[in-house]
Amino acid sequence: MFRRFQARVFLMIAVVALAATGATAWLTVRTTRAELSSSGAEERRTTRTIYDTLRSYGADHGTWEGVAETVERLGRDTGQRIRLVVSQDGTVIADTDTMEGRTARAVPNKPAVAIDVRPLPVLDGTALLLGKVGLSDQIRQYRDGVRFAACLTRHDVPVRLAAGTFVAASDAPGKTVKECLVRGLSSPGELDRDKQAVAGCEDDPCMRDAYTRRISEFAPAALQLQTGWLRSDQGPPEVSPKRTLAAAGVVALLAIAATVLLCRRVLGQLDALSHASRKLAGGDLSERVPVRGDDEVADLARSFNQMADSLQHSEERQRRMISDIAHELRTPLANIRGYVEAVQDGLLEPDAELFASLHEEALLQQRLIDDLQELALAESGSLVYHRDRLDPAELLTTCHASHRAVAEAGSVRLVLDPGDPPPVDADPDRLRQVVGNLITNAVRAAASTVVLQASADGDLALITVTDDGHGISPGDLPHMFDRFWRADESRARTTGGRGLGLAISREIVLAHGGEITVTSVLGEGTCFAVRLPSARAAATAER
């Protein structure tokens, strides 16, 4: 089974399809997971940056007032939506989606990050009484510092936290700093409430709780930070290898199905071509391949059919040529044989007249054989040409002079119109042979006049030989340049030559890169046209 080309092609494409889809699926899953992992790590780093920046703002300023500008800047820098919500009552204090008239979108469904800048008390483990006094002082100091920092922030004075103490910028106005210091001082009532809050505590947890309750009245509120690129899902999306592999399997099945159709379409045609070629090799030139479609395989089938047609026509021409040669040789040889046998039997005297007749028949056969040899050389490209720069008008003048006497002897007027054709690179003797053959045929067919004309046809030199004879029927025109073809079906020698002149002429013209054509109208005459590339056009084409 696997010796067949069709099976090997199917197996190869199926393996390639499965390997390609499997590798693609594996790479897709791996790459997607890596991208998601990288994206998640980047998102975590971005969230950490936002958290640290906002926490530093709350700790340095002692208030969340003015944080909206920082949130807006972080939103622009990170490309994320940032939303700050008070943990206690859910009040939104900053949201990048509602700033500058934007339309609020869905809140990212992600866990919020708590931001609490309130400090913890420092309990040094001293005596309980001293600890209570020290804790009250910590509450007072933090309250005074937070109020001082908040006041500076409201006056647009930069402030920062250094070693637990709020410090104004060095270039801050002194008056503003003094006013904020005064406003930040705790009142006697606040100091009494601080002492009362810690007076009843007997252990450290109680003291920490009292500290937290007291500073919650003035410290920046604890916030919830929500960030994200507004995805509706929570966390990175899941990548399912099963779904990816299932999709790859579907693709592989489609590839295999397409392979089956391709094998049936292409290799079916190849089987038909193989069968037809075997029959063609066996000698059956009538076998043809059915053509379906208009693709490359159909072009191959059409080319095969054209080749078979060409072979069949060539075989028919070969058989016809052999028959024509046998016909051409049969009658003269029969005549020669008859005369020789008559001499042998004593029926004829071997006189000079008899020998002259036999010699004429022998010369006729020699010319026929020479024409066949010349045609064979021309068709095989072995005929020798001696090319030189040639003026077609001069060539036509020479041919006119050499054939005028014969034409006038047959009561035909030979008219010359040399014109002004471009020079050509050609063999003068061979072209003279072509034109001479055309003139001879035209004089034989003409009623009264044969016109020889040369002219320019673009980059071509045009030579025409026109007669006013009875013309050629349309059905005979395609055969004018066939071997041994003559319009006279009786094939009598008195009405035509050997039937090889036009065939030889065509091969000579083709060897010069030109073409020879014929047009004819019944009752009006026939025109043979020879077109040759000019010397300049031939040189350009060669370069």
Three-state secondary structure readout of 111-125 = CCEEECCCCCCCCCC
CATH number for region 285-383: 1.10.287.130
pLDDT at 1: 38
Residue 529: the pLDDT is 96
The predicted pLDDT at position 490 comes to: 45
Q: What is the pLDDT of residue 527?
A: 95
CATH 3.30.565.10 domain locations along the chain: 385-542
Torsion-angle region of residue 343: left (phi > 0), alpha (psi -120 to 50) or beta? alpha
pTM over 0.75: no
- Kindly report each contact of residues 417-421 with a partner whose C-beta sits within 8 Å and lies 24 or more positions away, as own/partner: 417/451, 417/452, 417/453, 417/454, 418/393, 418/394, 418/454, 419/393, 419/453, 419/454, 419/455, 419/456, 420/393, 420/455, 420/456, 421/391, 421/392, 421/393, 421/454, 421/455, 421/456, 421/461, 421/462, 421/463
Tell the burial category of 105 from Cβ atoms under 10 Å away from its Cβ (0-12, 13-18, 19+).
Answer: exposed
Buried b (16+ CB within 10 A) or exposed e, 156-195: ebebebeeeebbbeeebeeebbeebeeebebeeebeeebe
- In contact, 185 and 179? CB cutoff 8 Å: no
Residue 527 contacts residue 519 (beta carbons within 8 Å): yes
Model pLDDT, residue 47:
83
Per-residue pLDDT in tens (0 to 9) along the chain, 543 residues: 344 555 666 677 777 777 777 777 777 777 776 666 676 677 778 888 888 888 888 888 878 888 888 888 888 888 778 888 888 888 888 888 776 555 555 555 667 888 888 888 877 655 444 456 677 888 888 888 888 888 888 888 887 777 777 777 777 788 887 888 887 788 888 888 878 888 878 777 888 888 888 887 788 888 888 887 544 344 445 555 666 667 667 777 777 777 777 666 666 777 777 888 888 787 777 888 888 777 677 788 888 888 888 888 777 777 776 776 676 677 677 777 887 888 888 887 888 877 887 787 777 677 667 777 776 777 667 677 888 999 999 999 999 998 998 899 889 999 999 999 999 999 988 899 899 889 999 999 998 999 999 999 988 999 999 999 999 998 888 888 877 666 555 444 444 455 677 888 898 899 889 999 999 999 899 999 999 999 887 777 766
In whole angstroms, what is the distance from residue 236 CA to residue 496 CA? 98
Q: CA 211, CA 88: separation in Å to the nearest integer?
A: 18
454, 433 contact by CB (below 8 A): no
Show Cβ contacts of residue 153 under 8 Å, excluding neighbours closer than 6 positions.
61, 62, 63, 65, 66, 159
The segment(s) of the chain belonging to CATH 1.10.287.130 are 285-383
Of the CATH numbers 3.40.1350.10, 3.40.190.10, 1.10.10.10, 3.30.565.10, which one belongs to the domain with range 385-542? 3.30.565.10
